[in-house]
Copies of this chain bind each other. A is one copy, B any other.
Amino acid sequence: MEKISIGIIGLGTVGQGVLEIFSKHKKAIIDRVGKEVEIDAVCDTDKKKVPKYLLNAYSANWQEIVENPKIDLVVELIGGWEPARTIILSALSSKKNVVTANKAVLARYWDEVFRSVRKHGNLIYFEAAVGGGIPVVQSLNEGLAANKITKISGILNGTTNFILTKMQKEDIGFSTALDYARKYGFAEANPSFDIKGIDTANKLSILTSIAAECWVKTDEINIEGIDGISRQDINISKNEFNYTIKLIGKSIFDNDKIDITVRPTLISESHPFRNVDGEYNAILLHGDVAEDLMFYGKGAGRGPAASAVVSDIIFLSRHIANKTAGLSPYINYNPNKKINIMKSADKEGCYYLRFSVEDRPGVLASIANILAKNRVSIAAVYQNVLPGQSGKGASVVIITHRANEGKLFKSLEVIDRQKYVKGKSAVYPIEN
Which A residues contact B (CB, under 8 angstroms)? Answer: 17, 21, 24-25, 28-29, 31-32, 34, 127, 132-135, 138-139, 142-148, 270, 272, 274-275, 287-298, 303-304, 306-311, 313-315, 318, 321-322, 324, 327-328, 332
Contact = CB atoms under 8 A, between A and B. Distances in A.
A31 B304 CA distance: 32
Given A133-B287, A138-B142, A290-B297, 7 more contacts: A127-B143, A133-B293, A135-B139, A138-B143, A270-B275, A289-B304, A292-B297
Contacts of A17: 289
B298 A296 contact: no
- How many identical chains are in the complex? 2
A contact face: mostly helix, strand, loop, or mixed: mixed
A365 to B, nearest CB: 40
Contacts of A32: 145, 332
Closest 5 CB pairs of A and B: A135-B143, A133-B290, A146-B310, A290-B307, A293-B297
Given A291-B297, A298-B292, A328-B322, A307 B147 contact: yes
B328 A307 contact: no
Tell me which of A135, A275, A322 has the highest count of chain B C-beta atoms within 10 A of its own C-beta: A135
A289 B313 CA distance: 15
A176 to B, nearest CB: 24
Contacts of A146: 21, 25, 29, 306-311, 313-314
Contacts of A308: 143, 146, 290
A431 B313 CA distance: 35
Nearest to A293: B297
24 contacts: A17-B289, A25-B146, A25-B148, A31-B332, A133-B144, A135-B138, A135-B144, A138-B139, A138-B142, A142-B311, A145-B310, A145-B315, A147-B311, A272-B275, A289-B304, A291-B297, A291-B304, A292-B296, A293-B295, A294-B295, A294-B296, A294-B297, A295-B295, A295-B296
